[in-house]
Each structure stands twice: as C-alpha cells, then as structure tokens.
Chain A
Amino acid sequence: MKTSKEGYAEALVELAKQKEDIVVLSDSAIKPFAQKYPERFIQCGKAQNIIGIAAGLAVEGKTPFASACATKNWNHIREIAYKNLNVKIIDTDETKEDLAIARTLPNITIIVPADYNEAKKATIAAGLAKGPVYLKLGNASQATTEKTPFTIGRAEIMRAGKDCTIVSCGTALQEALRAAEKLSLQEIECTVLDCHTIRPIDKHAILTSARITGCIVAAEENAGLGTAVAELLIQNFPVPVRMANADAANIAKAAKESVLLRCESACPEVPEEHGRLLISEAHPEVYFKVHGGGIIKSLPGLKKALLEMNNETFSYHCNAHKNDFSSWVKEAFKEPALAQQIGKTKTRLGMAITITRWLT
C-alpha cells in the first residue's frame, strides 16, 4: 500500500511541471523531485529554520513546500500564519499536537489527506492555492480512490446513513468506514464524511448531516478535527458529539454512545404536543407489562424502558416467535406504520432510534 508521503512526492513533480515557481525544501532528498529539478530543491539538513528560509522564498514570489519538524519550527510557522505567506508546510516528525495548535493561528489552511490518492490531490491543490497550507501526511491507509473528487474545504460523503454521522480525516477515514460496516449489522446506519480540510471546515456538510442524523462522532488520529466539529455544532446546532481515535472498534463504540445520548435527550416523558400521535398515553387496561416487573404507559416510556432493560428481558418480549413491542404499539396506540418499523428491528438500540425518529 502506498503512503501519503509517496503521494506527496509524486504530486510535487506533477505540480512542478505546471508551475515554475515551485521549490522544495527538506532535510532529506524527496525523490523524484530532487533528481528532476535539482536547482529547485534545497537540502537543508536537520535545521530548525527551514520554515524561515521558506518564508524568504515565498516573499520573493516562490511557492515553497517545506518538510520540517514542526515542533522545532513553530516560531516560523506562526510568523508565516500572521503574515499570510505562501508557504506549504509538511510535518516530518509525526507530531501529535500540531493540528490543535495550528488551528489557533490565523490564515493557515489545514488539510489531512486520508491516503496516497488523496495526498496527491491535496498536494496539487495546496500548490495552486494562495496562502499558507499545513499538510499533515499520515501512515499507509486506503479509503479513497483515484476517482474520489477533491476540493479544499469540501467534505466528501463516503457513505450515507440516517442514524449517526461519523466525521473523520486522515487514517481514521478507513477505520470509520469499517466501523460503519459493523454498525450496519447492528441496525445503525451511519453517514461517513471525509472531512480532510480542518480549516476551512465544510460547515454546510456537517450541519446538514447533523440535522438529519442528530448525533455525531469525530474520528481522527490526533486532536484537531474533533474540537473544530464541536465548536461548529455548539454554535449552530448542538447535538451529541463523541470523539474517537483511528480505530474501528472505538469509533463503533463512540457511535453507539452518541446515538444513545441522542435518544436519551430527545422526547420528554410525556409529550407536550399530542398532534403527532393519535393516542399519547395508553389506556390503563392495555399498559405494557414488562416481564419481571414494571409497566410502560407511553411511547417515550417504551423508548426509555428499551434503553434500560437487560437483554434477557428484551429477548423474552422480542424473539423469533413474537415481538410484543410491535404488537403493543399497533394495539395501544393505533400506529401500524410505526409498529411495522419496530417489527423489522431486532435490537434494543435499533428500536429506540426508530421511536426517537418517529417522535421528533
């Protein structure tokens, strides 16, 4: 599997053909660029001022791509940000905190490509864009293809689903797609967004998806995307957000937690408007008697009970032979359509989401 770094190196040569002012600085030869364009490649050694030299080149109208250890060059990176210089920065040190810090500096476009294919496109886009760009290249991963479109600032919808949105970038995208597959078997359908540009973040895509699914997971290798997503939502459309790293199991867990939070916070015990339901509370004669004890009187009550009951109790009421919940919804509330949907789901969480969606 080719890595993002290889994608970057190949893209530089393509970019150099298009633009004469491309120069590359690094502490190690970036082949094949260094061989094809030796007069445009500046070997800097392990210097702590590579980004500073790049700034000088940018001031003179060049488009420098500088590979450097970000943490050792921060004073220059911040200068470039404040002065809006046309330098493209690639971190060579696998720094963990750089994206979070870069977010606090003005003017820097921050891109985290998912894999080799996306890294190529991102490099070319960065070279053609004006102003400073921070390009974060990760380890080997495969989530997009040559045909996947790429525009800076636009998140790509890799998968559509109405129960939860997973916003991811970099190597986490591959994991997010794996998690979505697993969750689908558990009746939770996820939208997966490739949000490669952390700044400027695709507000429209994230907010639209939040409105549809009502809950979010932000998945990434290091901190940066998650806080950007959380900031966006809290200011515009607050919904539950969970953070996860680039691991499919963790992402799936976070998704379930997020869905749970959404179900718990939505629909009060007694719905205030009765217009959505023909009957808001069941007739006392047909209250649902839970196996092992307990009574359910309403749909919000059913949702709550489903979230709280143990698997044994659930299996008693819903198994290969019967689905007591579905029957009850049809009989006590006269909602055949809802009853049918509940009849199709086999998991507690799946039923809870279905009821939540119906009521909101």
Chain B
Amino acid sequence: MDYTSIAKNIRKDVIRSIARAGKGHTAGNLSSADIFTTLYFGILKHNPRKPDWEERDRVFASEHLNPAWNTTLAHAGYFSKRELFLPQKEKQGGLSIAVGSALAAKIDNKKHQTYCILSDHELNGENWEAIMLAGKHKLSNMTLIIDRNNIQAEGYTEELMPLEPLRAKYEAFNWNAIEVDGHNHQHIFEALNEAKNSLKPTVIIAHTIAGKGISFIENKYEWHAKAPTNEEEQTALNELNDRHNN
C-alpha cells in the first residue's frame, strides 16, 4: 500500500477544499493527513459501498478535522471527489459520543473497533471525563488517536497550556498509551494493530508537524485556523507536486 502517495493526494484536496470554503483549520488538517490515511487504507474494517454496514469499525473525529476526514472518505471511495466541494453530510464528533458508542458495542458484545481522532488542543474537561469512563469500563474496543501537532490559535500548546507529561496522564486513567511519529505510516499502522489487541482502551499520541507538507505552513501556529488564499493555494499545490516528482 503506497500510503505516501495517497497521503500526498489527500493533502492536495485538503488545501483545495479549505481554500474554496474560505475558512478552515489548515495546519491541523495537514498534520493529521497521515493518521487518516493509515487508518482508512490500512487498518479499518469497513466497506465504502456500505457506509452503514452493521459490523464496520466506527470512526469519530472533531469537527475542525472535517476537511481531512471528508477528503479521506472521498479518496477511499465513499463518494465521488467531485462532491468534496459540496456541503457534506453531518457526522458525529467528540470523544464523549465515541465512548458512548464504544460502550453500546460492549453492552451488545459486538466485535468492531471504535476510533476517535482529536487534536491535542481540544483535551478539555468533558474529554477527560469520557477518558475516565472508558478506563472504568475497560473499553478495549476504543482507540483514541491524538494529532499532537503542538499548536493552538495563539501559540504553541506547551507554552499556553502544557500537556506534558501527556502519556502518563492517560496511563493514570487506566489506558494503554503508545507514542509514535505521526508521519511514519508503518509506525502508525503497528500502533493501530497493537491497540486492537489491547485489553484496555488505547491512546495513540501521534507526534506531528503542524501544516506538514507545505513549507510555508509547517510549524506556524498562525495557520491553525487560517485558510489559504487562491495564490497560497496554488503555491501549496505546486510544492506538493514538485516533491512528488522528486
């Protein structure tokens, strides 16, 4: 599976869709592209032709990651890429809903996995409560992936509201915690596999670079909630194409 090539194409459509919308969280959607790619093209039990297949793995993600998520769905065959730029169907987001869904699966003894993708800047109170509940109920079918790109709207996460030691926090809540390079597809894949077999809920802390793939966006917190202009969109697409040719 050529994850690199798929992720590149996803990044291109992410840039296009955010530019067209005129607003979006560019940096986070770029940094999480590899996570979405590995999940949907590597590990997920699903059928794009049957989006409501009862035995499918469930996926939840925060709303601001919709560009990356929708783009991945389109590339995976859920709908045509032309529809990417139309308003998308409402999806569910948030860790509380994901944990509720995983809980329902456990009550009914279902075998599917439940995944949730969040950014590191949204680990708020209700999310920690959900983490507590998942730990209490030993929701081994629950996997949380954190796009740890270390930025928020006004600066770097560790300066504004430090999260470290993050891994230890999860372990204290009886979760299994794995840290990976969020741009290494092989590592992400192995971590997702390990999560499937864990007896506890698992968090995969994926260390990423905000805006990964576009040189003038990488590591710039100003791009947390900024959309590219038409010019910037063109420059970004050129860059992605050049790197591909190299």
Contact = CB atoms under 8 A, between A and B. Distances in A.
A75 B96 CA distance: 12
A40 interface: yes
Q: Which of B58, B100, B107 has most chain A Cβ within 10 Å?
A: B100
Contact of B104 (A44, A49, A61, A83): A61
A57 B99 CA distance: 9
Contact of A47 (B90, B92, B97, B129): B129
A23 interface: yes
Given A42-B103, A48-B126, A52-B100, A59 B133 contact: no
A57 B90 contact: no
A42 to B, nearest CB: 7
B42 interface: no
Nearest to B128: A49
Interface in A60-114: 60-62, 64, 75-76, 79, 83
B95 to A, nearest CB: 8
B126 A49 contact: yes
A54 B100 contact: yes
Given A83-B90, A83-B92, A56 B129 contact: no
Contacts of A75: 126
Classify chain B: how many residues form its interface, as a range.
20 to 34
A52 B107 contact: no
A58 B101 CA distance: 8
Nearest to B96: A52
Interface in B180-221: none
A39 B100 contact: no
A105 B132 CA distance: 30
Contacts of A39: 107
Interface string A19-50: 00001000000000000000110101101110
A166 interface: no
Most chain-B Cβ atoms within 10 A of its Cβ — which of A56, A58, A62?
A: A56
Contacts of B84: none
B162 to A, nearest CB: 23
A56 B126 contact: no
A281 to B, nearest CB: 68
A49 B107 contact: no
B90 A60 contact: no
Contacts of B97: 52-53, 55-56, 59
Interface residues of A, number: 25
B104 A60 contact: yes
Contacts of B99: 53, 56
Given A40-B107, A48-B125, A57 B133 contact: no
Question: Interface centre among A49, A64, A83, by most B CB within 10 Å?
Answer: A49
A45 B128 CA distance: 13
B98 A56 contact: yes
Interface string B65-107: 0000000000000000000000000101010111111111101
24 contacts: A23-B107, A42-B103, A47-B132, A47-B133, A48-B125, A49-B96, A49-B126, A52-B96, A52-B130, A53-B97, A53-B100, A53-B133, A56-B97, A56-B99, A56-B100, A56-B101, A56-B102, A56-B103, A59-B101, A60-B58, A60-B104, A60-B105, A64-B100, A76-B126
Given A42-B103, A49-B126, 11 more contacts: A23-B107, A47-B126, A47-B129, A47-B133, A52-B130, A56-B101, A56-B103, A58-B100, A60-B101, A62-B107, A64-B100
6 interchain residue pairs of minimum CB distance? A56-B100, A52-B96, A60-B104, A49-B126, A56-B97, A53-B100
